[in-house]
């Protein structure tokens, strides 16, 4: 399992449990995240706190899940990005596609709004 998922209030918080999020885990990540959406997850917080590096195939999987979420009328937000990864999200404008939160708590709280 790449993801460890807990329910916090009515949000699903799913933590990526690898340091290097790359090609070797991207397919599994995509399957697991799609699984969360297909079993009814409507607000999913993807927690990057343990991740130090992401490659484009992993981002591709994340973005592909976002498209799936939109189809399912669900939402995927991200939290806990380190400085480099946040920089990358901004560089390639993924910050326009995802709501980005500094902490899980803020991400979960936003759901309540």
| Least distance from another protein to the Cβ atom of residue 99, Å | 14
Q: Which two tokens stand for residue 20?
A: 């290097």
Q: 73 or 93: whose CB is closer to another protein?
A: 93
First to last CA, the chain: 31
Q: 92 or 102: whose CB is closer to another protein?
A: 92
**Is 94 one of the binding residues for another protein (CB under 8 A)?**
yes
Strand pairing partners for 43? 75
Region binding another protein by CB under 8 A among candidate stretches 4-12, 35-43, 79-87, 104-112: 79-87
**Is 84 one of the binding residues for another protein (CB under 8 A)?**
yes
**Is 71 one of the binding residues for another protein (CB under 8 A)?**
no
Site string (28-67) toward another protein, x via CB under 8 A: ------------------------xxxxxx-xxx-xx-xx
Q: What is the 3-state secondary structure (H, E, C) of 2-18?
A: CEEEEEECCEEEEEECC
Cβ atoms of 79 and 108 within 8 Å: the answer is: no
Q: 8 or 64: whose CB is closer to another protein?
A: 64
**How much is the CA Rg of the chain, to the nearest whole Å?**
13
Cβ atoms of 48 and 79 within 8 Å: the answer is: yes
């Amino acid at each position: 399992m790449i993801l460890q998922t807990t329910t916090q209030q009515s949000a699903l918080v799913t933590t990526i449990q690898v340091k290097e999020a790359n090609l070797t885990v991207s397919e599994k990540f995509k399957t697991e995240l799609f699984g969360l959406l297909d079993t009814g997850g409507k607000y999913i917080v993807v927690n990057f706190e343990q991740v130090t590096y992401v490659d484009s195939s992993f981002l591709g999987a994340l973005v592909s899940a976002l498209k799936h979420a939109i189809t399912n009328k669900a939402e995927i937000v991200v939290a806990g990005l380190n400085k480099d990864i946040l920089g990358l999200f901004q560089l390639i404008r993924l910050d326009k596609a995802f709501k980005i939160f500094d902490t899980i708590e803020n991400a979960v709280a936003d759901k309540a709004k």
